[in-house]
Amino acid sequence: MDVFDANSLVIEHAKALRAENSRMRELAWAYVEQSRVLARQLAAIRNQSGRALPKMGDGHLTEIERALDNLDRW
């Protein structure tokens, strides 16, 4: 294998990595959007019930909600 063949392999590998990176970003944003929808649904359920839903365990639900509220910083 000469230098040009090696260079071609590196370029092809870089293209594959770029495509994988794009796919992973799209997947991550889909999860972000799904989390936002779920957070809105949770808020709607809490508003309809007229009382707060119980917290999971030692307050993890509150931590999750706080994290979802800060997703716009991404």
Half-sphere exposure at residue 67, Cβ-oriented, CA atoms within 13 angstroms: 9
Given a cut of 70, whether residue 58 has pLDDT beyond it is: no
Overall pTM surpassing 0.75 (yes/no): no
Lowest mean pLDDT among 7-11, 15-19, 47-51: 47-51
Domain ranges in the chain? 3-73
Residue 61, judged by CB atoms within 10 A of its CB (0-12, 13-18, 19+), counts as middle
Q: What is the mean pLDDT of residues 35-45?
A: 89
